[in-house]
Each structure stands twice: as C-alpha cells, then as structure tokens.
Structure 1
C-alpha cells in the first residue's frame, strides 16, 4: 500500500510542478501585454500633443486644400454655365470632279517633279515583273 501512496504523491507533485510552470508562462504573457499597453498609451499621448499643436506642414496642407476647393468651385461654375449650341450646317456635294489623289505627307514623293503616269503602263510593268 505504501507504493500506491508514493505513486499518487508523485503524480500530485508532477501536477503541481506543471501547474506552476503554466502559471509562470501566463504571468510572463501578462507582463509582456502590460508593457505593450503602457507603450501604446505613451504613443497615444504623443499623438494627442501633436494634434493640439499644428505644425507648419499642417498650415501648408490647409492652404493647399483651400486653393483646391476654390479651383473646384471655379470648374464647377464653368461646367454649369449654359454654352450656346454650336452651329451645325449640312455640307453639300461639290460640283467639281477630283481626278487625282495628292499625298501631301508622303515622304517618297517629290511634289516638285510630279509626272503623270498612265495606268496601263503600270499594269504592263506589273505583269512583266510577275511573269519574270
């Protein structure tokens, strides 16, 4: 029977040891959280002090926001003004006949030395090139 008492005594001792280790870990976590909470409170206090004392950058930002607001009101006024409708008119067909197309921006053409080439000559040249 004494061996049974030793086993239960060892088990209770092991349980007490395990519980004390867990309590120690929980206390370390609580300490870490407390330190972080204090640090966070200090940061909040610093931010509140900065908000109460506007800096030069805040004044510049406020000035820029005011200018932007004025510009937006001006643009809104321009957009809301009634503009007269543009005059539309029908373009009628011209009586003149256009015989040739002039390529103004074609860099390969020299407009000073234009030559009129007969289409039948070009067709014959293309036929000769294809048959070669």
Structure 2
C-alpha cells in the first residue's frame, strides 16, 4: 500500500466518523427541541389549572372545614354528664339457666331438659368408646 492509498483510506474513515458524529448531533438536537416543547407545555398547564386541580382544591377546602369543625368540638368544654338514679324494676327478670352450673339445683330442671342432658351424656360415652 502506498502512502497515497493510506492517506485516502484515513480520509475516508475520518469522513465516515464525522458523518456519524453529525447524525448523533442532529438526533440530540431534535430530542432537545422536543424536550423544550414539553417543558413549555408543562409550564403553561401549571399556570392554568385544569378541572382536576379545581376539584382537588375543593376537596382540600372541604377537608380543611371539617378539620376546623373537629378541632372546635375537641376544644369545647365538656358539659357535665346527665346523671340519674336507676331504680329497681318491679317486673320479673327472665334469667338464663346454665345446665353445667354447679350452683344449680338439679331437682328444679325441666324433665325435657333433663332427658336431653342424659341423651348427650350417653352420646358422649359412645363417642369415647369409639375413639378408644
């Protein structure tokens, strides 16, 4: 290879590289312009609130009003509770009877209830025998 061919190859290689760099620069410039347009659009939108921003402002105002109301309720002096004497009633009270109550007199148990208790005891004995 002669020096002329080598210098021609170098020039061609440098030309290709310069062309690639110019394409990259053009792509970056276009992206930069697009980014600037987006920024300008966002700035315009920030200066002019949309309907969503108005709704947000309205919700914030309502929340603020509620908070002030709650604060007012919490800072008020509590009034004295209205106390009154509860008197015993003359009406009979239906008491719940527990079958397993050791204080219960078994002579007072209803015969139907007693039969159910015996049946459940027999059932329990059969279950115990089956599980053994």
TM > 0.5 between the two? yes
**Distance in 1 between residues matched to 2:38 and 2:113, nearest whole Å:** 86
Residue-pair matches, total: 103
The answer for the alignment partner of 1:63 in structure 2 is 58
2:14 counterpart of 1:16: no
Change (3 A) 1:37 1:115: same
TM-score (norm 2): 0.56
Unmatched 5+ stretches in structure 1: 84-97, 103-112
Deviation at 1:79, TM superposition (A): 5.9
Pairwise mapping of residues 34-113 of structure 1 onto structure 2 (< 5 A)? Answer: 34-76=29-71, 100-101=99-100
Higher relative contact order (CA 8 A, sep 6+): 2
TM-score (norm 1): 0.56
Deviation at 1:30, TM superposition (A): 0.5
**Distance in 2 between residues matched to 1:81 and 1:18, nearest whole Å:** 86
**50-59 or 60-69: bigger deviation:** 50-59
The DSSP-based 3-state class of the residue aligned with 1:59 is helix
Deviation at 1:48, TM superposition (A): 1.7
**Distance in 2 between residues matched to 1:124 and 1:42, nearest whole Å:** 85
Q: Which runs of 4+ in 1 moved over 3 A?
A: 72-83
Change (3 A) 1:78 1:22: farther
Deviation at 1:128, TM superposition (A): 9.3
The answer for the alignment partner of 1:115 in structure 2 is 113
**Distance in 1 between residues matched to 2:45 and 2:128, nearest whole Å:** 85
**Distance in 1 between residues matched to 2:100 and 2:64, nearest whole Å:** 54
**Distance in 1 between residues matched to 2:10 and 2:46, nearest whole Å:** 54
